[in-house]
Amino acid sequence: MHLVSISMYLTSRPLAEATAELWSFLRHYLSQAGLTGLPEALDQTVPYDEVWLRPDLLLSQACGYPFATSLRGRVRLVATPIYSHPGCDGPLMRSFIVVRKNSPVRVLEDLRGTTAAINAPDSNSGSNLFRAAVAPLARNGGFFGRIIETGSHGGSIAAVIEGRAESAAIDCITLENIRRFDPAEVEGIRIIAETPKAPGLPFITHGNASSQIILLLRRALDAAIREPSLATMRATLGLVDFAVLSDADYEPLLSLAVDTLPQLRA
């Protein structure tokens, strides 16, 4: 049985239901094309980052920075989704740097020496792009006074609202999803800056997948974009298309991390 897990943007029930509908369509398409061993439902038991290197993986969505640093050559890139949300630019995305609504902070420079929240050190949107945004302001290899790790973008937003951190970088897709489906959770923050752009979260399959499987998965995703009955699903996810990028398109994330690594920590 193949493993399928699409769990990066499931912060509310409408998103989870739309993602399940997407898989239902993909499953039917792949089955009609002759692929067997397809699960009825998306996996919800294996941690998302453990899924990526499973030999039985058929389809999952990975974070861009782990893909660039540790997954390239060990998984195969299928396609990168294109979202319609503010901050997205084709298959590229950015993060928005947020502070409390009543914070005196107006520009990035005002954050010097303060506490910043990150969801995880290997997150492209919450950490890597955050570094890139403050790197030009660094002095003697540092900028923030302290870094706290929250485990999720939602946790970082809560840390900012509660005053445990002065700022956080939230990816544009997650932020728009929360604004649409859980608006109360972001009423206490405001945006002061945006990060550089980078390729978005890629859909991947296992490293030994054949070119025929890659092509079939891409055709299924393309069909999902063009299927009239899935218009509501696509609108819920903010999904407008898929782009086929190369592994090399993610390489700039490596140089971005190397060039700016010291600036995020104290």
pLDDT tens for 224-252 read 999 999 999 999 999 999 999 999 999 88
Dist. CA 46–CA 32, nearest whole Å: 27
User: Which CATH number does the domain 92-197 belong to among 3.40.190.10, 2.40.160.20, 3.40.50.360, 3.40.50.2300?
Assistant: 3.40.190.10
CA distances from 59 to 38, 124, 209, 224, 246 (A): 11, 20, 10, 15, 17
Tokens for 220, please give them: 């299924």
Which residues make Cβ contacts (< 8 Å) with residue 108, sequence separation at least 6?
97, 133, 134, 137, 192, 193
Segment 144-178, tens digit of pLDDT: 999 999 999 999 999 999 999 999 999 999 999 99
pLDDT, one tens digit per residue, over 72-89 is 899 999 999 999 999 999
Inform me whether the pLDDT recorded for 266 exceeds 80.
no
**Rounded Cα gap, residues 107 and 42, in angstroms:** 42
Q: What is the pLDDT of residue 265?
A: 55
CB 227 within 8 A of CB 234: no
CA dist 212 and 175 (Å) reads 36
| 3-84+199-253 and 92-197, same CATH topology | yes
User: Tens of pLDDT along 205-225?
Assistant: 999 999 999 999 999 999 999
Q: Where are the domains of the chain?
A: 3-84+199-253, 92-197
- How would residue 10 be classed by pLDDT, with cut points 50, 70 and 90? confident
Q: Which is it for strands 75-83 and 115-118: parallel, antiparallel or unpaired? A: unpaired
- The per-residue pLDDT of the chain, averaged, comes to 94
Which superfamily does CATH assign the domain made up of 3-84+199-253 to? Answer: Periplasmic binding protein-like II (3.40.190.10)
> pLDDT at residue 138 above 50?
yes
